[in-house]
Amino acid sequence: MKRLCLILSLLIAVGCSSITFDPPVPFKEGGSKMIIIPFRQGDHIHHFESPKGREIAERMAALINKNARKGTYKIVHISAISKEMMEELRNSRPDKIDWAKVGRAAEADLVFSGNITKFEVQKPGDVNLFAGTCKVNVFVIGSEDNSRLYDQSHMVRHPEGKFELPFDIDSDASKMRHQLILKTAYTCAKPFYPGVEKAEN
């Protein structure tokens, strides 16, 4: 019996260590420092002015910091962005922002950010029924040469698939907002670490 338990333990250990990881963005030997800038929201809400964009970025940073393999990506805290740099970002058109400059100012190798193009917790006309949808476009810029290393669009729905009344009839907009932010952060972060993790509550 002890022998069988030992064999099973070894098999489990081998299985766990064989999880593959195909990094979406190249990293330096020893790991690359990444800063996640709060997402802007559409064309009129700036990166540091969207509460949803800030919450998604904060949740992403926590997930990657917790789950990234050693020697891959290490998160630089948003406090590395000075007030002067924030002001410069506010005064720049989205398509004119020098992200490499932002990264170098924060002493980060990579800059991750994005744009929330849709965020709703309830479809127009629905009453007491909450179903969330969030669409984001995300990107990673290399601080060394301003190269665009990663572009991805995500359509996040909560819940997924079809549902029937009275789904979430006792929920409310704030609960759906919270769950949608968690799920969006998880969806954006999970390509940057191996394994299967679930969004935090």
Task: Report how many domains make up the chain.
Answer: 1
Compare 20 and 84 and report the one with higher pLDDT: 84
Find the domain containing 177 and state its range.
Answer: 25-192
Residue 125 lies in a domain: yes
Q: Measuring CA to CA, which residue among 130, 50, 135, 128 is closest to residue 89? A: 50
Residue 9 lies in a domain: no
d(CA 60, CA 188): 7
pLDDT at 32: 97
Tokens of 108: 């980060």
d(CA 18, CA 37): 33
Helix axes 173-189, 51-67, angle to 10 degrees: 50
d(CA 113, CA 33): 14
Range from 41-45, 97-101, 123-127, 192-196 carrying the lowest mean pLDDT: 123-127
pLDDT at 5: 41
pLDDT at 1: 47
Phi-psi category of residue 115: left, alpha or beta, with phi > 0 → left and psi -120 to 50 → alpha: beta
CATH of the domain at 53: 3.40.50.10610
pLDDT at 76: 97
Compare 20 and 64 and report the one with higher pLDDT: 64
Residue 11 lies in a domain: no
Residue 44 lies in a domain: yes
Residue 12 lies in a domain: no
pLDDT at 30: 92
Average pLDDT over residues 147-153: 97
Residue 2 lies in a domain: no
Q: Which residue has the tokens 């998880």?
A: 186
pLDDT at 165: 45
The mean of the pLDDT values for the chain is 83
User: Is residue 201 pLDDT above 60, yes or no?
Assistant: no
